[in-house]
Amino acid sequence: MPIHDHLTAVADLAGNPGYAHAVTASGRLAFVSGQVAVDSGGRPVGGDMAAQTRQALGNLHRVVRSLGADWPDVVRFNWYVTDVTDIQAVRDVRDELIRPALGDRPNPASSLVRVAGLYLPELLIEVDAVVAVPAEQD
C-alpha cells in the first residue's frame, strides 16, 4: 500500500481524534471529483444530512473501488456542507462507513468548508478525495 504514515500528533498543536493532520504517500495518486447525493440516474436523493452523506460516500466509494482502491487508500477528504450545525451527522456516517475498513488507523487528512450552496439547492453535502492507488497485482 502506498500510504506510509498518518501524522496525528504535532507539538504545540491541538490533536483531533477525527482525522490525521497529514498523510504521506507515494506512487500513483487519483484526485476524485466531488460526489453528491444523487442516485444512479443523476436524480437528487432527498433526506437529511445523514442520508445525503451516506449517498455521497456511497458514490465516492464506487469511484474509489473502480480505481482498484478502498477506504484505507484514501489520503484526504474535502467536505463541503451547506449547514455546519449538522456536522455530527457527517462524522457519524463517515465513522459508520469508513471506520470498519480502517481498523486502528486514523481517518485520512480532512478539510471541511461551509458553502452557500451546491449546484442543486436540495443538496446539503459534497465530498471529494485524494486516493493513493495501490500498485497493480500480478
Alpha carbon distances (Å) from 41 to 19, 45, 91, 130: 32, 10, 27, 25
The three-state secondary structure class of 55 is helix
Cell numbers linked to 26: 507515494
pLDDT tens-digit readout, 66-97? 999 999 999 999 999 999 999 999 999 999 99
Whole-prediction pTM value?
Answer: 0.84
Segments in the chain forming alpha helices (H): 49-66, 87-102
Q: What is the pLDDT of residue 7?
A: 67
Q: Which residues contact 1 (CB under 8 A, 6 or more apart)?
A: 72, 73, 132, 134
Asked if residues 80 and 34 have their Cβ atoms less than 8 Å apart, the reply is: yes
- Taking 50 as the pLDDT cut, the residues of the chain under it are 1, 138
